[in-house]
Structure 1
Amino acid sequence: MLDIAILEDHIALQGESVMKVQADRTDLRRRMRDVEQKLQHERQNRRDVNSDLSRQYKTMQTELTNKVKRLEKEVSQLKEELGLCQEELRKEKREREQVEQKRDATVAELQHKLDNMETDYEKILHETLDSLTSQLSATRQGWEDKSATLHQNYKELLSEFGLNALDI
Structure 2
Amino acid sequence: MPPKKKKGKGKKKGKKKDDAQLQLEDKYKRTMDEIEALKDHLATRKQLSRKANMHSTEWKKRMSDVELEMRDQQDDQKAINADMTRQYKTMQTDMGLKIHTLESELQRTTQQLRRVEAELTITVEEKKRMNFEKDREIEKLKHNIYTMEKEYERILLEALGSLGDKIDKARISWGDQSTMIQAKNKHILLEFGLNPLYI
TM range, smaller chain: 0.7 to 0.9
**Worse overlay, 146-155 or 70-79:** 70-79
For structure 2, list consecutive stretches of 5 or more residues without a partner in the other structure: 1-30
Establish whether residue 112 from structure 1 lines up as the match of residue 112 from structure 2: no
TM, length-normalised to structure 1 = 0.78
Distance in 2 between residues matched to 1:93 and 1:29, nearest whole Å: 90
For structure 1, list consecutive stretches of 5 or more residues without a partner in the other structure: none
Following superposition, the deviation at residue 88 of structure 1 comes to 0.7
**Residue type of the partner of 1:140?**
R
Following superposition, the deviation at residue 69 of structure 1 comes to 3.2
**Residue type of the partner of 1:25?**
S
Establish whether residue 159 from structure 1 lines up as the match of residue 187 from structure 2: no
Distance in 2 between residues matched to 1:65 and 1:49, nearest whole Å: 23
Larger RCO (CA under 8 A, 6+ residues apart):
1
TM, length-normalised to structure 2 = 0.68
Following superposition, the deviation at residue 33 of structure 1 comes to 1.2
Establish whether residue 57 from structure 1 lines up as the match of residue 88 from structure 2: yes
**Worse overlay, 140-149 or 20-29:** 20-29
Counterpart of 1:93 in structure 2 is 124
Q: Deviations over 1:5-62 (max 9, x none)?
A: 969x769946676555445433432332122101111122122222322332333233
Identity of aligned residues (%): 31
Q: Which of residues 49, 63, 71 in structure 2 aligns to 1:40?
A: 71
Distance in 2 between residues matched to 1:163 and 1:31, nearest whole Å: 174
Counterpart of 1:78 in structure 2 is 109
The change in CA–CA distance for 1:17 and 1:150 in structure 2 (over 3 A counts) is: closer
CA RMSD of aligned residues (A): 3.0
Q: Residues 128-167 of structure 1 correspond to what in structure 2 (within 5 A)?
A: 128-167=159-198
Larger radius of gyration: 2
- Give the paired residue count: 168
